[in-house]
Structure 1
Amino acid sequence: MRKPADFFMIQTMLIICITWSLQQIFIKLAANDITPIMQASLRNGIAALLVGLMIVIKKGWSPSWKGTLKPGIITGIIFAGEFLFIALGLQYTSASHIAIFLYTGPIFTALGLNFFVATERLKPLQWIGITICFIGILTAFGSSLLQNEIDITSLLGDFFGLLAGLFLGSITVIIRSTKLSEAPPTLTLFYQLLIGFIILLIIALISGQSAIFHLTPIAISSLIFQGVIVSFISYLIWFWLLRKYVATTLTIFTLMTPIFGVGFGVLILNDKLTTNFIIGAIFILLGILLVSNEATLSRFIKRLHK
């Protein structure tokens, strides 16, 4: 039986959310030394190597994983797309904006599962959450649209961030609706990292973005942080937490990630936040909260009516 939240879980989730929120910050800081697409490729390659070695050491390759190759390749392609749009988005808009739009992923997951998994039909409260989230997206986009001169560049970056969120949400839908739902998390992660590495490397080579490659201290730090700490250590800890604690409680805590992301963007990168974007971000986070934790919130509302 999975445990409810305790002090250890809260501390661990706080560290994980801070770690995840710093991804876009590190990519942006090192962008002049290694392009974002090349960074995304290398971080996936580093993490794929580490995850693969761990599976080999534990003798985890098993015939019981048969049937996972095709969906694994598909999730890997979508995973590459997610990081491609993150990288492109960071070239046009702020890390704070990407942090918010990327974490619309749960909304797209809920919509996808509603249509592809019979047991995952959306409840009324979740539809309300999706509506609120999309109102928030339109409001946040308005931070670029309602200026005296429309900031097309920032608007494009925001759109790429939203596409990254769509791709992030699609990965969960594919995992839940295929053989990957029965496979160990390490195998699913390995598929995504390896294929993401290959595809993004090809894109970087073809587009000429691999030509900018300077191993400065900040570039090396960025690659180590993303490849080892984020893509390897934090993901494995996250999967371990999912096996030990109630999933709905964990997902509530993940809402701290975009909040930290915006905060670090302002403090470290001097990102400018408009009123429209702040209001939109609040609506987006509220919508995600309603969609991801409908059961918990429904029980709470019923208690209030007693």
Structure 2
Amino acid sequence: MTLRDFALMVVVCLIWASSNVVSKYVVSHLGVPPLFFAGVRFVLVALATAPWLMPAPKPLWRILAVGVLMGAGNFALLFIGLKTATPSSAAIVSQIGAPLTAVMSFLMLGETMNRRRIFGVSLTALGVILVMWDPRGFHASMGLLFVLAAAFLGSLGAVMMKQMDGVKPLQFQAWVGFSSAVPLLIASALFEPGAIEPAAAAGWRFAAAVGFSAIVVSVAAHTAYYGLIQRYEANLVSPLTLMTPLFTIGMGVLFMHDPFGPRMALGTIVALAGVLIVALRFNQLVSLVLAMRPRAQ
């Protein structure tokens, strides 16, 4: 990977990490209801990517299902979870998505699930449990259960997306926005009466946050990431996304004063190690370890 593309990957991960912190600020500190926030976000995504909506991918029902799972369902549950969960813990729990995708690909698509991947999935699950577990009682981590459910829906959508060919990144974003905006706004009207008032009271802060989430995160960063995936092997690019939870933890501690004790640190290390084992083959893991080894001067 060229230095320029690696720098682009770092910027993408920084943007994704910032999104977690910004979303927490919107739903928790500004008090904007999560379904309304997600709905407005996808309205903007749909408008920004409308020129790429047609021609519709086939089968139509599958792209709609994928859009709802990876858009409305995933983000609605994530934002609900962020009302009570910290960005740092949510970022680590979300890492269960990669192992879940591997397991569902095995169950739904018949892909290989060898002992290495089983070990990686188990390790990631253990790390996530360490992060979610609270000595004072599991009820304190209810927000992370929503984050866990969001990761499940996102993984299911990703596996269903594997069964479609020829859908380009901006077209995919267009259909995610189109299929998610209306259901989210209807759900917000039903379950979040008066949702407009706190958004209006937040004024420019809400406008800036939702614009950043829709245009910079969903359209720009995701499109850049898909471009990197097209230029390089997925096994090279995917592990680099682990910078996102690390950046999120740093931003969460710095800006949101997230607690980060020994249990959280251990869970983070275990979970990310499991994701690496799932994402990389053995020889790639050895190469990565050797590359990280200090060299004599």
Secondary structure, aligned partner of 2:83: helix
Contact 2:277 2:285 in 1 (8 A): no
Cα deviation for residue 157 of structure 1 reads 0.6
Question: In 2, Cα distance between the equivalents of 1:114 and 1:300?
Answer: 26
1:11 paired with 2:7, answer yes
1:249 and 2:241 matched: no
Give the aligned partner of residue 263 of structure 1. Answer: 250
Q: Identity over aligned residues, as a percent?
A: 20
Correspondence 1:135 to 2:126: yes
2:173 paired with 1:198:
no
Structure 2: segments with no counterpart, 5+ residues: 291-297
Report the TM-score when normalising by structure 1. 0.86
Q: Retained in 1: the 8 A contact 2:68–2:179? A: yes
Contact 1:139 1:280 in 2 (8 A): yes
Residues 159 and 33 from structure 1, CA distance in 2 versus in 1: closer, same or farther, beyond 3 angstroms? Answer: closer
Unaligned regions of 5+ residues in structure 1, if any? none
Q: Which amino acid aligns with 1:204?
A: S
Letter in 2 for 1:263: G
How high is the TM-score relative to the length of structure 2?
A: 0.89
In structure 1, how many angstroms separate the alpha carbons of the residues matched to 2:138 and 2:238?
Answer: 34
1:49-87: per-residue Cα shift (whole Å, max 9, x none)?
A: 11113x27xxxx347x3x231111111221211111111
| Secondary structure in 2 matching 1:103 | helix
- Paired residue for 1:175, among 136, 157, 161? 161
Q: Is the CA contact 1:33–1:216 (under 8 Å) kept in the aligned structure 2?
A: no
User: For residues 111-150 of structure 1, what are the structure 2 equivalents within 5 Å?
Assistant: 111-118=103-110, 120-142=111-133, 144=134, 146-147=135-136, 150=137
How far apart are residue 33 of structure 1 and its match? 5.1
Match of 1:157 in 2: 143
How many pairs does the alignment contain? 283
Instruction: Give the aligned partner of residue 86 of structure 1.
Output: 78
Once the 2 structures are TM-superposed, how far is the Cα of residue 298 of structure 1 from its aligned partner?
6.3
Q: In structure 1, the residue corresponding to 2:260 is in which secondary structure?
A: coil
Secondary structure, in 3 states, of the residue corresponding to 2:63? helix
Q: Which residue of 2 aligns with 1:240?
A: 227
**What residue identity is the alignment partner of 1:84?**
A
Which deviates the most, 210-219 or 78-87?
210-219
Contact residue 93 and residue 155 of structure 1 kept, 8 A: yes
What is the CA RMSD across the aligned residues, in angstroms?
2.0
Amino acid aligned to 1:245: Y
Letter in 1 for 2:88: S
Residue 43 of structure 1: aligned partner: 41
Judged with a 3 Å threshold, the aligned counterparts in structure 2 of structure 1 residues 39 and 296 are, in CA distance, closer, same or farther, namely farther
Residue 92 of structure 1 aligns to a residue whose secondary structure is coil
Report the residue type matching 1:201 in the other structure.
Answer: L
Aligned-partner residue type, residue 218 of structure 2? S
Alpha-carbon distance in structure 1 between the residues aligned to 2:89 and 2:81: 9
Cα distance in 2, alignment partners of residues 70 and 188 from structure 1: 14
Is 1:225 the counterpart of 2:212 in the alignment? yes
